[in-house]
Amino acid sequence: MNITHYLSAVEQADTYKRYGKVQQVVGIMIESQGPDANIGEVCYIHPNTPNKHRILAEVVGFNNEKIILMPYSELTDIGPGCLVESSRKPLSIKIGRGLIGKVINSLGESLDQSPLPKGLANYLTEQAPPNPMSRAPISEPFQVGVKAIDSMLTVGNGQRIGIFAGSGVGKSTLLGMIARNSEADINVIALIGERGREVREFIEKDLGEEGLKKSIVVVATSDQPALMRIKGAYTATSISEYFRDLGYKVNLMMDSVTRVAMAQREVGLATGEPPTTKGYTPSVFATLPKLLERTGTNESGAITAFYTVLVDGDDMNEPIADTVRGILDGHFVMDRKLAEQGQFPAINILKSISRVMNQIATDEHTDLALQIRSLLSTYEQNSELIQIGAYKRGTDQSIDKAISYYPKIQTFLKQGVFEQITLDDSIDMMKQLLNGGIKHG
């Protein structure tokens, strides 16, 4: 047995533990003199009070010779002179098939206090996006199980979609429908910055028992430190990457990417970055592409990703919405007006787009979708005239046709929360709609 490389490893091993000392705490930021540590490394802060657990923190910056740390938990129990020990490693979590059906936090710990199953592998939460040349083109449709999407905005396997919505327009319900009805082997759901009340509500009501059986839910509620909310997004993405590399069809859903950006803004402002666009710091716009580009296809498999974007006051041009729309491969706009009219899911077909639909849908399917889109567009352009009774039937044939088809299209686009409709059924229903009749799924 050759033990020379073991002996050389022992000789090179650093047997000393080096500590630093906490010097000041300002807001959510801890400044420490030492130890030697690099950006992104995890450090342990040992409280002065006996019998207290050490606190995990991450190196986020430097100030002269001092290191700036941000904790993964609350700042309680940290006082002047607390020892700071570097782990010499960035954050890693335990991942494996045993996590399916579990609800975990940003550090990969089980939220219901139950122990994690054995046999999980260590995996770094920060990974580089795949090489563009190793990304397979998106060539096949991905069944979402929501007929408005499958028929009019077909999603490809490995596509990344933004769901743009104001508050209370039904995006959580839509995510639950996609999680239950899609053809994915596994769902990874990241609930970032949610109210604590909504977490169980989403898992029990929107996701349901059937949905949870093939899902891993990562939770970072709004009361948690900014770093935990950011890490929630990274943890969910790394879990998706792990299963993609095993060849699974993965469905990643993140609610919401806006709250990840807000958490990154908090970190940026605390470390001294200047606020630029609407108070967002430059690091926000550097972080978003790195995070969103990690999903999609690679040589092993594909992650189909749905990112919700909160649009304050339904303003589609606010900085985060604008940036995310430019990075992703399509966007679904949820319309408050449609929700008020009782149309669910409240997706505004005319304002939404799937950038890969033409590559993956058949010519017949694309033609049917264009016909319905054209009828909707004609009706919308003339809706004011129609509603006040100023339009007389027989004046324009295309408007007459749009008026007669409009109620049927609205009925077609509606779907019950627990109604399951396949991609093929959606296309058949489009054919029936345009041929004068419509069957309900």
What are the tens digits of pLDDT across the range 87-122? 889 999 999 999 999 999 999 999 988 888 888 999
**Residue 388 CB partners (closer than 8 Å, separation 6+):** none
On whether the CB atoms of residues 356 and 330 are closer than 8 A, the answer is yes
* Predicted local distance difference test score (pLDDT) of residue 441: 40
Q: Comparing 5-9, 171-175, 193-197, 362-366, which segment has the lowest mean pLDDT? A: 5-9
* Predicted local distance difference test score (pLDDT) of residue 438: 45
Q: Give the chain's mean pLDDT.
A: 91
- Provide the 8-state DSSP code for 97: G
Q: Which run of H or E residues covers position 332?
A: strand 330-333
Q: In sequence order, which ranges of 246-346 are alpha helices (DSSP H)?
A: 257-270, 282-292, 319-327, 336-340
Q: How far is CA 194 from the centre of its chain?
A: 13
Residue 354: pLDDT band (50, 70, 90) is very high
* Predicted local distance difference test score (pLDDT) of residue 314: 64
Residues in the chain: 441
pTM: 0.92
Q: Which run of H or E residues covers position 192?
A: strand 186-194
In 37-183, DSSP assigns E strands to 41-46, 55-63, 66-71, 83-90, 92-95, 103-104, 121-124, 141-142, 155-156, 160-165
Residue 436: pLDDT band (50, 70, 90) is low
Residue 439 pLDDT exceeds 50 = no
Residue 313 pLDDT exceeds 70 = no
User: To the nearest whole percent, how much of the chain has pLDDT over 90?
Assistant: 72
**Residue 131 CB partners (closer than 8 Å, separation 6+):** none
Q: State mean pLDDT over 180-193.
A: 95
- What tokens appear for 364 in the block? 């017949």
On whether the CB atoms of residues 339 and 346 are closer than 8 A, the answer is yes
Rounded to an integer, what distance in angstroms lies between the CA atom of residue 86 and that of residue 58? 9
What are the tens digits of pLDDT across the range 364-383? 999 999 999 999 999 999 98
**Of 56-70, 106-120, 225-239, highest mean pLDDT:** 225-239
* Predicted local distance difference test score (pLDDT) of residue 1: 56
